[in-house]
Amino acid sequence: MSSSARFHQDVEHFTALYVEERGRDESSFLAGIGDLARERGISDWEAEAATWEAIGRGLGRAPLSEAERNAYAQAWTDGDADRVRALGRGTATAR
């Protein structure tokens, strides 16, 4: 498995765990993703649609209401349409 694939798998797991523990701080979530990226040698993770899809898969796996998923998605993507779409693709594959 490539370091990129491992990173995206880590992101999915981190996201699910973060929301299951009811993490609410956007900056700590994004900092955690940044830490994972550094550990895997990934740069510019925020620009990769695959990262946002992995986040979406993590959200899709977590026991959340649709309103909670939408709130996390809005906070983490800052309303960026491309990120929102990628996150939605990931969420759809996880359900």
pLDDT tens digit at each of 95 positions of the chain: 788 899 999 999 999 999 988 777 778 899 999 999 999 999 999 999 999 999 999 999 999 899 998 899 999 998 899 999 999 999 999 86
Cβ(62)–Cβ(16) below 8 Å: yes
Distance CA 33, CA 11 (A): 7
Cβ(54)–Cβ(12) below 8 Å: yes
Distance CA 59, CA 91 (A): 6
Q: Is 47 helix (H, G, I), strand (E, B) or coil?
A: helix
According to the model, what pLDDT value does residue 40 have? 92
According to the model, what pLDDT value does residue 26 have? 75
According to the model, what pLDDT value does residue 2 have? 85
According to the model, what pLDDT value does residue 84 have? 93
